[in-house]
Structure 1
Amino acid sequence: MQTAIDHEQLVNAIGDAIVISDATGHITLWNPAAERMFGFTRDEALGDTLDLIIPERLRGRHWDGYHKTMDTGQTRYGNDVLRVPAVHKDGRSLSIAFTVALLTAPDGRVTGIVAVIRDETARFQEERALRKRVAELEAQS
């Protein structure tokens, strides 16, 4: 049995942030989970670049890779989960994990990238505290 899927409803209901950017890096889709995660409303994010959430110190590297992906039509990340820092609207740092997929036109040309993003800040902080505690215990031995 084939059931029609309301893709807009899916994107809006899902708990992970979904962000789509075009070939120039401008945001074209920003779901409610992205609003909650990063603090920017849909209206604030749409049309802006991904610099909105990329820490300033990482922007150069990000854009080098982004433009290379747009030019070659290939990403070296495939289905890998990427873990990187991000920035919330209020300036605080976030630790995010995400996957990316390339969006293409019928002629095969890459038109953008979709990222499905999860906030792992709490998990990252817990792991850091555990590593610190292990180091302290090993130093006592």
Structure 2
Amino acid sequence: MQDIDPAALVAALGDAVMVCDATGAITYWNAACERMFGYTAAEAMGRSMDIIIPERLRGRHWEGYHQTMASGVTKYGSDVLRVPAVDKQGKKMSIAFTVALLYAPDGKVNAIASVIREETNRFNEDQALRKRVAELEAKLSNK
């Protein structure tokens, strides 16, 4: 079995991988992040995740982020979280992601890694289907 370089693996993944430190500053941004969000790694590194979070959701995001950093607990290690996001041009998108907590030698969480997939088309299809079902149910209930 050949040795696999984990850094090369993460860099080559089709899913976006982002790592942020305890303050929420971006410390890792793979090529898939560049394609998805439009920022180069050089543009994203050291910046806040606010570059991809819609302004109206930032307060709620940071509340959960700081709580996770303090508690060392998240349900999104296995549960997928689906949320709106924005790219460099301000285009709205839907993303789905899971996170992994990364620990310092003292055992405290010092970073969070996210594996992100863009799901805008799936989200739009789901919305259209729900709308159609609601219309059909309304027709049936009016008969």
Deviations 1:65-114 (A, max 9, x none): 11111112222333110001111111111110000010001221111000
Provide the residue aligned with 2:50 in structure 1.
51
| Structure 1 runs not aligned, ≥5 long | none
Q: Distance in 2 between matches of 1:36 and 1:98?
A: 16
Q: Distance in 2 between matches of 1:108 and 1:13?
A: 29
**C-alpha displacement at 1:133, in angstroms?**
1.2
The DSSP-based 3-state class of the residue aligned with 2:28 is strand
Equivalent pairs, count: 140
Provide the residue aligned with 1:86 in structure 2.
85
Provide the residue aligned with 1:4 in structure 2.
3
Q: Distance in 2 between matches of 1:126 and 1:96?
A: 14
Give the TM-score normalised by the residue count of structure 2: 0.93
2:113 is aligned with what amino acid?
V
The DSSP-based 3-state class of the residue aligned with 2:24 is coil
Q: Distance in 2 between matches of 1:4 and 1:68?
A: 37
Q: Distance in 2 between matches of 1:134 and 1:76?
A: 31
Provide the residue aligned with 1:114 in structure 2.
113
2:40 aligned with 1:18? no
Instruction: Calculate percent identity across the aligned residue pairs.
Output: 66
Deviations 1:36-90 (A, max 9, x none): 1111111110000100100101111111111111112222333110001111111
The DSSP-based 3-state class of the residue aligned with 2:23 is coil
Q: Distance in 1 between matches of 2:124 and 2:77?
A: 27
Provide the residue aligned with 1:38 in structure 2.
37
Provide the residue aligned with 1:139 in structure 2.
138
1:62 is aligned with what amino acid?
H
2:73 aligned with 1:67? no
The DSSP-based 3-state class of the residue aligned with 2:42 is helix
Q: Distance in 2 between matches of 1:4 and 1:105?
A: 26
The DSSP-based 3-state class of the residue aligned with 1:80 is coil
**C-alpha displacement at 1:8, in angstroms?**
2.1
